[in-house]
């Protein structure tokens, strides 16, 4: 095969992305996800963390109990290898139970002039470490998620529909109460996760639905709009509902970095009839932000940022123009949330990049992604390598198109891909089999780890010049400079053949290396 070279140099402009379609696979896959671009030097605001779906559901005790077990598995003195198991897909899962789970050693920066490489592959490698040379220690096991998305009351991944105030016409929210799901499950798990994390966890909350008495359809379930119009008693009560939520969580020592104005405000177009949602157009969301939610957050004691859209990128840049084109709304809004589900319809350059160029002071954050949605078979596909590749392809694409971070949807699910009270079952990086006291870490988990473990918050993407000497050497990649001065290069090879290439850092030298077929690699070395 021919060679390609990747040269990581700070100050070099980022290359354009192109639309790439995933190849065929023996396992079910998500729709193809296109490529995107990010500004050189833009802070990598919140990189690759997972939000717990159903993390507040009482019926999800089986899954959530295993989340606690995942945290509580004893850590050995050194790295422990994957315990592989095949379910007949194209790759394997790693089995964990109460006494054993594969782990990583803490990340230790290599000596000057050397590098370390972490590799996962369809053939069975999982973050396998190796060292090499060109021609200070961190203390954290695991893959170091640092961003959590929390549903505000119920989502479809709850076991029941509910709100925090079901007393009709309670415009002063005197009957607002957190649910048992919050007090007995979500909050204790957040406290445990925060205590175990070396990095500060950034939480953001998203509402799916208001109480039924505020909605046009009169029900938490199903599709409706908020009654009335911006500035009236319904909209002001709904804005104050956000503040009450932040107030109540603060009483439990849980604070939120951000809230989104509405999960998928145009979800009624695509979702099941019972799906909990409030529909907003871009203009309606702008007016709600200007007259109600923005002022309510500004008056509150909370330093919580506001994210708009929280929906598919097919709505960009139109949504941004409609909301951020208003100077008052723009002052209240920090960024835009994007979901990945319809990425194949519109190129990243026409949506993400176009939005960044129009509104460079507002960040772009991927706020939801999952595999196995809208499939007739195999919502959960244990050991499917292609689903992991789809994650890495998306992350590489959007980091290269001005996106500051990427959030998976479900931290862990059961074997069916739930719980989900509207039966919207999907896949997850961690699947729990409570009947056997085990959980399975899927290829998606390790693909995420190739980013989250090595690219901390505050990292900055650097220019990467790619010199391809053959047309078929289409490696996908991103290079970042970490706050500690180390350089990270992530390389994805989704093809079925090995690809030799070389890496050159003018300050250090170069290495000749290989990206095996269907593999992802993370390179880490000290800059000068």
- What are the CA-CA distances from residue 232 to residues 18, 62, 236 (Å)? 46, 42, 6
What is the rounded distance in angstroms from the CA atom of residue 10 to the CA atom of residue 487? Answer: 10
Confidence band, pLDDT 50/70/90 cuts, at residue 111: confident
- Report whether pLDDT(201) > 50: yes
- Among 119, 144, 264, 386, the active-site one is 264
Query: What was the pLDDT predicted at 114?
Result: 86
β-pairing, 459-461 vs 438-441, is unpaired
- Among 119, 144, 181, 368, the active-site one is 368
Q: What is the pLDDT of residues 224-248, one digit of tens each?
A: 999 999 999 999 999 999 999 999 9
- What are the CA-CA distances from residue 250 to residues 63, 147, 301, 313, 447 (Å)? 26, 18, 10, 32, 34
Q: What is the pLDDT of residues 127-147, one digit of tens each?
A: 999 988 775 344 467 899 999
Does the annotation mark 144 as catalytic? no
Output DSSP code: residue 514: E
What is the rounded distance in angstroms from the CA atom of residue 358 to the CA atom of residue 82? Answer: 46
Query: What was the pLDDT predicted at 267?
Result: 82
Considering only residues 266 and 55, tell me which one the structure prediction assigns the higher pLDDT: 266
Mean pLDDT to the nearest integer, 485-489: 96
- Report whether pLDDT(456) > 80: yes
Q: How far is CA 443 from the centre of its chain?
A: 15
Q: What percent of the chain has a predicted confidence (pLDDT) above 70?
A: 83
Tell whether pTM > 0.85: no
Query: What was the pLDDT predicted at 469?
Result: 61
Burial class (CB in 10 A: 0-12, 13-18, 19+), 374: exposed
Confidence band, pLDDT 50/70/90 cuts, at residue 471: low
Q: What are the start-end ranges of the H helices in 209-358? A: 233-251, 282-288, 294-299, 318-324, 327-332, 348, 354-358
Calculate the dihedral angle through the C-alpha atoms of 196, 197, 203, 208, rounding to the nearest 10 degrees: -60
What residues are paired with 309 via a beta bridge?
A: 337
Output DSSP code: residue 351: I
Query: What was the pLDDT predicted at 21?
Result: 26
- Report whether pLDDT(56) > 70: no
Does the annotation mark 368 as catalytic? yes
Output DSSP code: residue 458: T
What is the rounded distance in angstroms from the CA atom of residue 288 to the CA atom of residue 269? Answer: 21
What is the rounded distance in angstroms from the CA atom of residue 402 to the CA atom of residue 60? Answer: 36
Q: If phi over 0 gives left and psi between -120 and 50 gives alpha, with beta otherwise, what is residue 228?
A: left
Considering only residues 310 and 106, tell me which one the structure prediction assigns the higher pLDDT: 310
Mean pLDDT to the nearest integer, 293-322: 98
């Amino acid at each position: 095969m021919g060679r390609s070279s990747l040269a990581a140099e700070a100050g070099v402009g980022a290359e354009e992305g192109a639309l790439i379609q995933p190849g065929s696979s023996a396992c079910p896959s998500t729709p193809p996800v296109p490529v995107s671009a990010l500004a050189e030097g833009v802070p990598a605001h919140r990189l690759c963390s997972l939000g717990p779906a159903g993390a507040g559901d009482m019926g999800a005790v089986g899954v959530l109990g295993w989340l606690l077990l995942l945290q509580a598995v004893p850590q050995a003195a050194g790295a422990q290898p994957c315990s592989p198991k095949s379910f007949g897909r194209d790759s394997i899962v790693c089995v964990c139970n109460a006494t054993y789970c594969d782990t990583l050693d803490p990340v230790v920066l290599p000596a000057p002039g050397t590098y370390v490489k972490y590799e996962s592959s369809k053939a069975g490698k999982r973050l396998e470490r190796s060292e090499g040379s060109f021609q200070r220690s961190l203390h954290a096991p695991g893959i170091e998620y640092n961003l959590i998305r929390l549903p505000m009351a119920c989502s479809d991944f709850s076991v029941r529909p509910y709100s925090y105030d079901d007393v009709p016409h309670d415009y002063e929210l005197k009957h607002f109460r957190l649910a048992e799901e919050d007090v007995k499950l979500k909050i204790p798990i957040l406290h445990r996760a925060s205590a175990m994390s070396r990095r500060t966890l950034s939480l953001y909350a998203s509402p799916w639905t208001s109480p039924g008495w505020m909605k046009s359809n009169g029900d938490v379930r199903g599709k409706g709009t908020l009654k009335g119009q911006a500035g009236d008693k319904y909209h002001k009560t709904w804005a104050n509902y956000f503040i009450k939520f932040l107030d109540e969580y603060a009483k439990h020592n849980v604070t939120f970095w951000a809230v989104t104005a509405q999960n998928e405000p145009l979800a009624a177009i695509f979702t099941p009839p019972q799906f909990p949602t409030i529909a907003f157009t871009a203009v309606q969301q702008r007016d709600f932000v200007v007259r109600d939610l923005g002022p309510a957050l500004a008056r509150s004691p909370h330093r919580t940022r506001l994210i708009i859209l929280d929906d598919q990128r097919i709505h960009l840049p139109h949504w941004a123009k409609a909301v951020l084109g208003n100077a008052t709304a723009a002052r209240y809004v920090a960024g835009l949330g994007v979901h990945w589900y319809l990425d194949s319809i519109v190129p990243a350059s026409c949506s993400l990049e176009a939005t960044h160029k129009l509104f460079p002071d507002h960040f772009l954050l991927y706020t939801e992604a999952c595999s196995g949605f809208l499939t007739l078979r195999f919502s959960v596909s244990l050991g499917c390598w292609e689903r992991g590749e789809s994650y890495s392809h998306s992350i590489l694409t959007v980091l290269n198109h001005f996106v500051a971070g990427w959030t998976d949807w479900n931290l862990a699910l059961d074997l069916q891909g739930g719980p989900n009270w509207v039966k919207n079952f999907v896949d997850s990086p961690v699947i729990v089999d409570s009947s056997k006291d085990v959980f399975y870490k899927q290829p998606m988990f390790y693909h995420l780890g190739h980013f989250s473990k090595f690219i901390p918050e505050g990292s900055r993407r650097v220019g990467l010049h790619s010199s391809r000497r053959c047309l078929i050497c289409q490696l996908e990649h991103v290079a970042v400079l970490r706050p500690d001065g180390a350089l990270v290069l992530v390389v994805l090879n989704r093809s079925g053949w090995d690809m030799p290439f070389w890496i050159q850092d003018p300050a250090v030298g170069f290495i000749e290396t290989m990206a095996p077929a269907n593999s992802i690699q993370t390179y880490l070395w000290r800059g000068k």
